[in-house]
Amino acid sequence: MKDPGLADATRRAVRLWRTDGPARLASIALHLAASPLVEFGHLAFFARELDADAGWPKLPSGLEIRQAEGADLPGLVSAGRRDPALAEERFQRGDQCVIAVDPEGRIVHNRWVTVIPTPIPELRQDLCPRRDEAYFYDGYTRPEARSLGLDSAVRCYIFEALRRARFERVYSYVRGDNRPGLRAASRWQACVGELSFIRFRGVAAWVVSRHDADRSRSPWPDLH
């Protein structure tokens, strides 16, 4: 059962955001920063139109990009951890995983790809790809491989694979406090818009502001 006190607090916070602005609410949030009760956040959504060849950045010698198989489950990082059970669950529901493998056979990067509704944890909503759309999520690069250009190479591999399969666009999103992730996404995808949200524990998230990106030719993804 939802806590009515939390719901009332959330509504008051949203009204404060709208009347006094995010700076005022941010100052109040500093007093709550040590508490798990409330979360403020910012998300940026990106899209890539698949109407042209993305081009492939060069990989260091010996690295391979391919689709993950069942034998790769123990090496996959899912939701920030090695979790073969979660990886298997994702495979069972139809998601795919693209990996980069080093000369010793270790998985140094993995990224999940889906065409079905998939939760966005921060919003407690699903991103729902439309027909001929896909969504990739939960990319992870091992720390020692983060200067090798794997993120760009894997993104381009996915773009080309989806383009050959006649998909029209692919989405992703990045948290606003993830600066490396924002830089990586903006190299190969265009920002379609940004939103800010507030979420109290046990209560659904409220979107308190949403802004379209200038000159974006891609629509927002469907969020439900």
Tens digit of each residue's pLDDT (9 = 90 or more) over 79-113: 888 889 999 999 999 999 999 999 999 999 999 99
Domain count along the chain: 1
Q: What's the CATH number where 158 sits? A: 3.40.630.30
Q: Cα separations (Å) of 19 from 22, 59, 196, 199?
A: 9, 50, 15, 18
Q: What is the pLDDT of residue 184?
A: 93
Average pLDDT of the chain to the nearest whole number: 85
* Sequential DSSP letters for 105-159: S-EEEEEEEESS-EEETTTTEEEE--TTEEEEEEEEE-GGGTTS-HHHHHHHHHH
Q: How confident is the model at residue 5 (pLDDT cuts 50, 70, 90)?
A: very low
Sign (positive/negative) of CA torsion 160, 71, 101, 171? positive
**Orientation of helix 22-29 relative to helix 4-20, angle to 10°:** 140
Is the pLDDT at 26 greater than 70, yes or no? no
d(CA 194, CA 122): 13
Percent of the chain beyond pLDDT 90? 62
Q: What is the pLDDT of residue 93?
A: 95
Q: What is the pLDDT of residue 34?
A: 44
Q: Which pTM does this prediction carry?
A: 0.81
d(CA 143, CA 128): 31
* Domain encompassing residue 76: 4-223
Q: How confident is the model at residue 21 (pLDDT cuts 50, 70, 90)?
A: low
